[in-house]
Amino acid sequence: MRVLVTGGTGFLGSHCVEALAAAGHDVRLLVRTPAKIAATFDPLGVRIESHLQGDMADPQAVDRALEGCDAVLHTAATMYGGADVLEANLAGVRNVIGGAVERGIDPPIYISSVGAMFPPSGPVIRVDDPIGEHETVYGRSKAEGERYVRSLQAQGAAVTNIYPGGVYGPRDPVIGETMKGLRDAIRFGWPITTGGVSIVDARDVAHIVTACLEPGRGPRRYMASGHFLTWSEFTDCCEMLTGKKMRRVPAPPVVVRAFGRAIDVLQRLLPFFEYPLTHEAALFLTQLVPGDNSATEKDLGIEFRPTAETLSDSIRWLAEAGELGPKHAGRLAAEAP
């Protein structure tokens, strides 16, 4: 199949492209910066035969990219940029997924997020849970994108939604927020509070994507939250892998949320100031519950790799990239190429 991929030079997107190419699919990229293609894929030995330069928010560019494609994978999303984030991300979903549906492309695959159903309505997050109300512009953009895609599915469109948790693994071309969070926690200390984190390997999400490339299956939704760890369990695992004792910072949830509120105020006063621990992020950090992956495992034959494997590969890669030294990465730094 010829598969159009947006966000293909990003962390999750690049792993998906690698998996699609390995499965024999012909990948076409829609990219804003073509120079990133060689930098991302040459080291992997992945050859990209087709790409178009353009933005997901540009309907003409997306329409050209969709021409001749059999399937679509939409991973692109903008996190920063103020009010423009909502407009850009929603335009991207409408242009890419909506455009694919109009052309009869089957399947269009949309990478959503566990966060689209946050706050959780029960002890486990399920793919049909209601869409949550969000405080940040980025959070609202993901919720609105999810709402739009569900409206297409309600009309019978064969869109597949995939809901990753926190995505970890090796080879992050830009060192995004998840991997920065892992790096900084190892360096400076782990918040020990309520809630926890859903850890999914980027390579497992890529496997889910390739397993979903089957036309004629109609609308589908799959959880990809991986394994859920409390913050203490997360710290224990990293200590075991690195052989290094890590700082643990007791963080009552009320304090974490108050800190997030303060960050929100600073960002309103100083538009150029960006910091990931918003109040909404603090709620996510202290209130997250596991996701229900049972249908993903049963329908697609997916077996999520052990968390220790994902985290060891993540930390080893951070050491290889110069983001962590032996003082913090311990034995994993010694194993990095």
- How many whole angstroms separate alpha carbon 301 and alpha carbon 108? 20
CA max distance for the chain: 55
Q: Tell how strand 2-6 and strand 71-74 pair up.
A: parallel
| Relative orientation angle of helices 253-269 and 279-287, to the nearest 10 degrees | 160
User: How crowded is residue 35: how many other Cβ atoms within 10 Å of its Cβ?
Assistant: 9
- How many whole angstroms separate alpha carbon 192 and alpha carbon 334? 28
- How many whole angstroms separate alpha carbon 321 and alpha carbon 84? 31
Query: Where are any strands of DSSP class E within 255-328?
Result: none
Set 110, 138, 163, 222: catalytic member = 138
Going 61 to 63 to 67 to 69, the CA torsion angle's sign is positive
Q: Are 187 and 323 in contact (CB under 8 A)?
A: no
Is 138 among the catalytic positions?
Answer: yes
Active site residues: 138
